[in-house]
Amino acid sequence: MDDRFNRIDWHKTFPVHALTWPFPNPFHIEVGIARTDLLDDRISGNKWYKLKYNLKAALEQNAKGVASFGGAFSNHLHALAAAGNRLALPTVGFIRGELVEPFNPTLTDCSTWGMQLHPLTRKAYRERHDSAFQDRLMASFPGFVLLPEGGSNQLAVAGIADMVGVIESCKAAFDYIVLPVGSGGTLAGILGYYLGREDAPIIIGVSALKGVAGVLEETVLRLVGTEENFIDDLSMDDLLPEWWIEHDFHCGGFAKVSSELQELKARFECQTCVPLDNVYNSKVILAVKHLLECGKIPDRARLLILHTGGLQGVRNWSRPLS
């Protein structure tokens, strides 16, 4: 295998610890947090695991490089560019919308680390899942591997299983895992890890997207690889742990921020010393606050919040609240 893969220490771990919950907790829920944001300052959080086996496969295939899709503030492209730089593996980012100079901090980093940035009109970007469109794009980059937006595919799901293994190795006891959901790969990896396990916790995803109820669940099941079982209702209760996605905490849509969310974020960071991003993890804290106060989590249950990183995006938030 190409020795470049070992230029990154893929065996690094992250802490899992108790959290003093800074909001009302009438049912005395024990709250903990898994800090994947502390894995690396550039290959952030869950992206570390989603990229791991994709990059390994690209190197084993002697790919000339790796390309993917994302917005101008994409955590995925940021992590891909950083990893490609460390592995001496060329990267290409197909960016939604115009490239406006000077670049924002995310794109500045990507460009500095050698990623070729190619803008796509928003109309063209909507075709990113179409195989013929992908072929036309990749004709300019022969020998490159193309990853989906967010990096969510079967190899990403396998990487996330490694992440859950790290959490379990910490011997932390929990009844629930709560995490943000974007492209669905992290949630799918966690569900896949616990597939068929009687001791599995209940998994709650918090959607960062608006208007995707049903569609997002189908995407997750397809990534788990049990979509057929779900449709045919074959042994699903015996395979998947209990899980659902909360769809009411997006604050108006992807990357939308309310004054309530900003106030919650500031209070949480001040009292816990755990930094949050605006797009994903702050909305998980908002959802958990609601779940704990309304009694949706049973009395004295143990709940683990998965912090998925993405803190590089905080630098881009000089704009006013929506």
Catalytic residues: 74
Helices 46-60 and 185-193 sit at what angle, rounded to 10 degrees? 90
| β-bridge partners, 207 | 181
How far apart CA 95 and CA 89 sit, in angstroms, is 19
Sheet containing 16-18, strands listed edge to edge, beginning at the edge strand earlier in sequence? 16-18, 30-35, 302-307, 176-181, 202-207, 243-246
Residue 151 has a CB neighbour count (10 Å cut-off) of 28
Helices 154-169 and 46-60 sit at what angle, rounded to 10 degrees? 130
Q: Indicate the residue type of 91.
A: T
Phi, psi angle pair for 234, to nearest 5°: -100, 105
Residue 319 buriedness (CB in 10 A; 0-12 / 13-18 / 19+): exposed
Closest to 223 in 3D by CA, of 212, 215, 211, 235: 215
How far apart CA 44 and CA 78 sit, in angstroms, is 9
E runs forming strands in the chain: 16-18, 30-35, 65-70, 91-96, 116-120, 144-146, 176-181, 202-207, 243-246, 302-307
Under DSSP, the state recorded for 280 is: T
Q: Indicate the residue type of 138.
A: M
